[in-house]
Amino acid sequence: MSLEITIKQIEHSRIFSFDSKNIIFGKVFTDHMFICDFQNGEWQNLRIEPFGKISLSPTLSALHYGQAIFEGMKAFKNEEGEVAFFRPLENHKRLNKTAERMCMPQLPEEIFMEGLQLLVDLDKDWIPSSAGSSLYIRPFMFATDDFLGVKQSETYSFMVYACPVNSYYSHNLKVRIEETYTRASKGGVGAAKCAGNYAAAMYPTMLAQQAGFDQVLWTDGETHSFIEETGTSNVFVITKDAVYTPELTDSLLAGITRKSILTLLEDMGKPIIQKHISITELIDWHTRGQLTEMFVSGTAAVITNIELFSYRGINYAVNASENLLSTELKNMFNDIKMLRIPDKNNWMTHLKTSQTVNS
Ligand code: COI
């Protein structure tokens, strides 16, 4: 079944002012956005509009009580001009999982996928094809009731916008293991991709940055003795024996890049251990010369090496330049995303072009 999506196209594209050789992450947005509204128990008024400001009431419940969730995903364009999305159905699944936790409505897969396809088809000229670049796509949902009082909203908007990007991090990371502040605790919303998780991380991240680090490496909320994730990505620790990553709990985000890395590692025959990783054993691996590499993974961060971690004022340097497993993984991802090798895991969804314009 094809959905009815109204399209209002821009009159003059802004693409001529876009410098694809000098992209700053998150600063430039494509010409259009997708919107639909949840009212009377159903999603309606599906539409594409010129990208621009939206009008909101000061009483909008998302602004006060925080029902605001999002996803991050990417589309790629290869040298031949073919465009494909990386694992969009995984983002759709995770959006709905987050929505459930935040007491928000489920979004049908068809709306998610058709909105995405139409938007990216209209704005495909914005997708950069140089090495490491892509179209970052931001689907998000927020509560729109005009009501002062704590209760789940009855109305919501779902929107998607996109921006051409390069790497989120342009250098290796220095991370500080956090013991004072907590990102998420048992039974909380750490596994949900909700706006509040990022807000709660900002103050401790600012303190870490003022002390010369790039990111916080969060620890569990109960004991602060097991590493969990950074504010923007999952984390991997490579030793001479195995690849370790914190096992998924309700306090960390189930990254789609994380999941994909695990599949690639499995295909490579690498021993993988998903478990609680204590700070004590991390330092022990480092001290015994067992720790060979650490990296973070995420849609925006892709795979970025950690060159140093710090714990209780002591800095531990980590190899981030030679014989890296992360380089091998990055190359494999690039080949898959740029459609250079067979997509044996069915990760890439091709862009459907020439959609019908309804108005
Ligand atoms: C992503 O990786 O897509 C995120 O949402 C994190 C943010 C650093 C952009």
Task: Please compute the mean of the pLDDT values over residues 172-200 and round it to a whole number.
Answer: 96
CA 299–ligand 1 middle distance (angstroms): 6
Taking the C-alpha atoms of residue 59 and residue 146, their distance in angstroms, rounded to an integer, is 5
Tell me what pLDDT residue 1 has.
52
Task: Please compute the mean of the pLDDT values over residues 111-118 and round it to a whole number.
Answer: 98
Given the CA of residue 300, which atom of ligand 1 is nearest to it? 2
Q: Where does ligand 1 bind, in terms of residues with CB under 6 Å?
A: 72, 168, 232, 298-301
The verdict on residue 344 lying in a domain is no
| Chain centroid offset of residue 209 CA | 21
CA 304–ligand 1 middle distance (angstroms): 13
Taking the C-alpha atoms of residue 199 and residue 175, their distance in angstroms, rounded to an integer, is 19
Given the CA of residue 301, which atom of ligand 1 is nearest to it? 2
Claim to verify: residue 281 and residue 325 sit in the same structural domain: yes
Task: Report the mean per-residue pLDDT for the chain.
Answer: 95
CB atoms within 10 A of CB 306: 24
CATH of the domain at 157: 3.30.470.10
Pick the closest to residue 69 from 43, 96, 90, 48 (CA basis): 96
Q: Is 359's pLDDT higher than 80?
A: no
Number of domains within the chain: 2
pTM of the prediction?
0.96
- How far does the chain reach from its first CA to its final CA, in angstroms? 19
Torsion of CA 186, 187, 191, 197, to 10 degrees: -90
CA 11–ligand 1 middle distance (angstroms): 31
> What percent of the chain is predicted at pLDDT more than 70?
98
Pick the closest to residue 99 from 148, 187, 40, 158 (CA basis): 158
Torsion of CA 282, 285, 289, 293, to 10 degrees: -50
N residues, the chain: 359
Q: Which of 119, 136, 166 is the last residue of a domain?
A: 166
Given the CA of residue 136, which atom of ligand 1 is nearest to it? 3
The verdict on residue 345 lying in a domain is no
Tell me what pLDDT residue 190 has.
96
The β-bridge relationship of strands 73-77 and 226-230 is unpaired
84's tokens = 């494909």
Pick the closest to residue 272 from 245, 310, 232 (CA basis): 245
Tell me what pLDDT residue 231 has.
83
Return the residue whose CA atom lies nearest to atom 9 of ligand 1.
300
The verdict on residue 351 lying in a domain is no
Taking the C-alpha atoms of residue 232 and residue 306, their distance in angstroms, rounded to an integer, is 13
Claim to verify: residue 107 and residue 202 sit in the same structural domain: no
Please, which pLDDT band fits residue 261 given cuts at 50, 70 and 90?
very high
Claim to verify: residue 28 and residue 79 sit in the same structural domain: yes
Please, which pLDDT band fits residue 138 given cuts at 50, 70 and 90?
very high
Claim to verify: residue 211 and residue 316 sit in the same structural domain: yes
Return the residue whose CA atom lies nearest to atom 3 of ligand 1.
72
Please, which pLDDT band fits residue 108 given cuts at 50, 70 and 90?
very high
Given the CA of residue 233, which atom of ligand 1 is nearest to it? 2
Q: Is 258's pLDDT higher than 60?
A: yes
The verdict on residue 358 lying in a domain is no
The verdict on residue 356 lying in a domain is no
**Beta strand segments in 123-262, E:** 134-143, 156-165, 173-177, 215-219, 226-230, 234-239, 243-246
Residue 194: give the domain boundaries: 173-337
Pick the closest to residue 219 from 229, 211, 209 (CA basis): 229
Claim to verify: residue 30 and residue 139 sit in the same structural domain: yes
Task: Please compute the mean of the pLDDT values over residues 59-84 and round it to a whole number.
Answer: 97
The verdict on residue 353 lying in a domain is no
CA 40–ligand 1 middle distance (angstroms): 32
Which distant-in-sequence residues (6+ apart) come within 8 Å of 350 by Cβ? 82, 83, 84
Q: Is 90's pLDDT higher than 80?
A: yes
Claim to verify: residue 114 and residue 59 sit in the same structural domain: yes
Claim to verify: residue 261 and residue 132 sit in the same structural domain: no
Return the residue whose CA atom lies nearest to atom 5 of ligand 1.
72
Given the CA of residue 70, which atom of ligand 1 is nearest to it? 5
Taking the C-alpha atoms of residue 240 and residue 243, their distance in angstroms, rounded to an integer, is 8
**Sole residue written with tokens 């759709």:** 92
Claim to verify: residue 230 and residue 325 sit in the same structural domain: yes
Claim to verify: residue 238 and residue 295 sit in the same structural domain: yes
11's tokens = 């009159």
- Ligand 1 probe mutation, 168, 202, 205, 259, most atoms within 8 A of CB: 168
The verdict on residue 354 lying in a domain is no
Instruction: Determine phi and psi for 132, rounding to 5 degrees.
Output: 85, -5
CB atoms within 10 A of CB 319: 14
Return the residue whose CA atom lies nearest to atom 7 of ligand 1.
232
- Ligand 1 probe mutation, 232, 233, 235, most atoms within 8 A of CB: 232
> What percent of the chain is predicted at pLDDT more than 90?
94
Given the CA of residue 255, which atom of ligand 1 is nearest to it? 2
Claim to verify: residue 215 and residue 301 sit in the same structural domain: yes
**Sole residue written with tokens 């004590």:** 280
CA atoms 138, 260, 225, 312: torsion sign: negative
